[in-house]
Structure 1
């Protein structure tokens, strides 16, 4: 890319278009050297150094290290360490040859290129003693160069007009930020003690809220544990058909719920599996090893009666047992046995043989009833009841205290953000006229075949794969890095994501004049070091200051 500022760089593409390099076959000839167009100056000496080569008896090397006879200047032998005695030959490796290039731009080339059979000067003056006949195309190149200058001048003219608008906008932004920052800081300072006060109230009421909730939770956990214990005992009592305080395999086999393979009967293995590998279980073993496994085999029946009591917005259901409230585990089975005993007594009386004493106590236990009461009727709804009114009131007060505190804290955070933003404008370097200030935070993109490159001005540079959503940091804004001559011609973004076995990524952004602010190129000239080209009106110079100052154009 050609830099706009100064318009003095040589376009290599333009050069090659009108001035293809020529290659000679013989370096030296017996012909007379081509005419010297340098006047009284030795060949290869620029006009501004002519006085240093004034014709005289002796010549002093520029470094002052040696004085030689003037006749040894351009004698194709290097006498001066600095190469100043051979401006027109290739004798000194560190010498410079000045191409006059009248009609175009005078340039200096390494003296090693003199008479090397390649045309470096557009006027051919570097091949003054070789067989190569270099055409003089300086007028043609000059014409094309002046067209390019005019084109760039037109761009600069339009761009500079936009730059003035940006500078005016930037000045307003900085003035507004400077005016607002004092008010922002004042409001923030006023809110700080209010936030502290609100935080104190919040903590105080939250502590009361926590204590009330803890009491409620503890009471509910105790009640839940009691209910669970009752459910365990009730289910144990139901499965303990003969009420001998242990559950056997035979008792388990009477419940179809344990028929795992649904073949119509419960096998010993099935019953043993549900008893956690034992053949009989007491209450403690049942509670620790069995209950959690079989509890869900007995779902709530459809005809279970529930009562609902509404407190606030929380629904509480209570399950009403079909059996007597006074019944205890195993009592139903005992009452069944008593009924069976009375039936036997009545039958004996009818036969004339009343039962008493010994016979009455020797009655065998009745067989298990054909239909068992479902223990699932004892399952209770395991949900915490609603908080009491006093706790609800504390919760409402705590919510309000949190709301007040959060509103103040959020406002302080917003103020902090606004203050940082204002400070970034006031302390930032946005050019001598603040033309870059309105562009702060503007996103620009450039696509190549594999990546999308993004630049957020004065913030960060990123690289995004087109085939996915992964973004890689190529650096954060650091500074203008154009150097002492013009620091605003380049930006530096550093401390990006680290490369594998390499340094942190960084990006240098070359800034050029353009009618619009746009990213026009992105490359990686070295591993993890990126180069963007940015064009913007903010980089356009005043057209009145653009001159081609080369003395021999």
Structure 2
């Protein structure tokens, strides 16, 4: 008889303790729920009898009197989740028939049969963490190599720019010379034509023209060159001592044509003028191409490639991914495009700037000024950069009309692991 009474007392005591167990609170909050005559709401707004804690009626504005029920709209239930990460859920999800805590503690009085999955989840998370740490370690090693390669490329580009600028300076000097040569040759051509059309009394002008003819790159006038040619071909060279017989205007008219066409001085002057113009045009074209190369190189060197220029290796590379019926191409520091199956290509944005948050500025690339959407905004793209041991596009989305989002995995985005705050909660 006494044995049965003792057993009943033990069972009753256990049930009483279980009934008074304050569910849904963390260890750091237990000090607020020590059983006493009254309970002070954690926000200090109200004092209620302790019996009203977890009685399925919301008395405190902050919901602190009902941590283990769904009575308070703003209440939170703490999942202990031994073997996994503890976390909070909304109190409205307590005893709703769905297992939200991996230890099943949120369904303590519902018909739901919750399986204890915390141990398996913990093992899976630890394995994933180990894989991420391995990838981070390899990625950081590759990043260090990219930084060293980037430094070499940067020096090469700077040296290339210096060489191009020196060539441009030398070419500018030659341009000034060729412009003067063109001007002088044009003036001599006009003098030669005037002397040929008015031959009487113009021998002095002819001699002056011969003396002033521009020199070629070998230091000879084209007049002398013509004479040497005549000698080589067995033709008796012309001499200045025997002046040609001057032809009267009437004789030229009878012979027909322009009297200057066969004049050797006019021919030499015309050839000199044409040569000067041709040489100047070629030099100006070369100067324009050179200036374009210098501008492009200066623009590339002006781009921010990261704190250690670790993203410089992405310059000149392009990455592709296919999603649905489109093919997307990302060319870092250049542009983003979309191509349909029909071959139509659309510009989704040009490189603009880094657009990550202050604590991770180089985590997001911004591309804007793409083609306008029909009845919509101008297309733009944001590219999220994540750590990985290779460089590849992982996905592309269109979260809003004409605004695209991509994720680019690359070792250049790897950062040393910061102290983890996982499991630390701001509970007050």
Q: TM-score scaled to structure 2, two decimals?
A: 0.66
Structure 1's unaligned 5+ residue stretches are: 1-31, 216-384
Q: 1:540/1:49 Cα in 2 relative to 1: closer, same or farther (>3 Å)?
A: farther
- How far off its partner does 1:137 sit? 1.1
Aligned 1:456-467 pairs, distance under 5 A: 456-467=331-342
Equivalents in 2 of 1:392, 1:522: separation in Å? Answer: 64
Match of 1:148 in 2: 128
Equivalents in 2 of 1:113, 1:407: separation in Å? Answer: 75
Would you say 1:550 and 2:416 are equivalent positions?
no
Equivalents in 2 of 1:34, 1:460: separation in Å? Answer: 67
Moved more, 105-114 or 403-412: 403-412
Deviations 1:244-265 (A, max 9, x none): xxxxxxxxxxxxxxxxxxxxxx
Equivalents in 1 of 2:347, 2:28: separation in Å? Answer: 49
Match of 2:347 in 1: 473
- Which is bigger in relative contact order (C-alpha 8 A, separation at least 6)? 1
Secondary structure of the corresponding residue to residue 390 of structure 2? coil
Secondary structure of the corresponding residue to residue 365 of structure 2? strand
Match of 1:522 in 2: 396
Equivalents in 2 of 1:202, 1:77: separation in Å? Answer: 101
Alignment RMSD: 4.0
Deviations 1:209-243 (A, max 9, x none): 9999xx9xxxxxxxxxxxxxxxxxxxxxxxxxxxx
Would you say 1:43 and 2:43 are equivalent positions?
no
Contact 1:191/1:412 (<8 A) preserved: no
- The correspondence for 2:412, drawn from 517, 528, 538, is 538
Q: 1:410/1:477 Cα in 2 relative to 1: closer, same or farther (>3 Å)?
A: closer
Contact 1:90/1:112 (<8 A) preserved: yes
Equivalents in 2 of 1:54, 1:184: separation in Å? Answer: 80
Match of 2:251 in 1: none
Contact 2:66/2:75 (<8 A) preserved: yes
Equivalents in 2 of 1:93, 1:59: separation in Å? Answer: 19
Equivalents in 1 of 2:17, 2:328: separation in Å? Answer: 53
Larger Rg, first or second structure (1 or 2) = 1
Structure 2's unaligned 5+ residue stretches are: 1-14, 195-260
Equivalents in 1 of 2:300, 2:186: separation in Å? Answer: 38
Would you say 1:399 and 2:272 are equivalent positions?
no
Secondary structure of the corresponding residue to residue 438 of structure 1? helix
- How far off its partner does 1:91 sit? 2.2
Secondary structure of the corresponding residue to residue 486 of structure 1? helix
Equivalents in 1 of 2:355, 2:49: separation in Å? Answer: 45
Q: 1:391/1:199 Cα in 2 relative to 1: closer, same or farther (>3 Å)?
A: closer
Would you say 1:194 and 2:194 are equivalent positions?
no
Match of 1:483 in 2: 357
Deviations 1:464-507 (A, max 9, x none): 12331x22111122333342443443333222211111111122
- How far off its partner does 1:533 sit? 2.0
Q: TM-score scaled to structure 1, two decimals?
A: 0.53
Contact 1:198/1:405 (<8 A) preserved: no
Query: How many residues end up aligned between the 2 structures?
Result: 339
Equivalents in 2 of 1:478, 1:110: separation in Å? Answer: 42
- The correspondence for 2:387, drawn from 513, 516, 524, is 513
- The correspondence for 2:46, drawn from 48, 63, 67, is 67
Would you say 1:158 and 2:138 are equivalent positions?
yes
- How far off its partner does 1:198 sit? 5.6
- How far off its partner does 1:103 sit? 1.0
- How far off its partner does 1:104 sit? 1.5
Would you say 1:99 and 2:96 are equivalent positions?
no
Equivalents in 2 of 1:138, 1:147: separation in Å? Answer: 14
Contact 2:185/2:272 (<8 A) preserved: no
Contact 2:175/2:283 (<8 A) preserved: no
- The correspondence for 1:444, drawn from 298, 301, 319, is 319
Q: 1:436/1:112 Cα in 2 relative to 1: closer, same or farther (>3 Å)?
A: same
Equivalents in 1 of 2:270, 2:400: separation in Å? Answer: 67
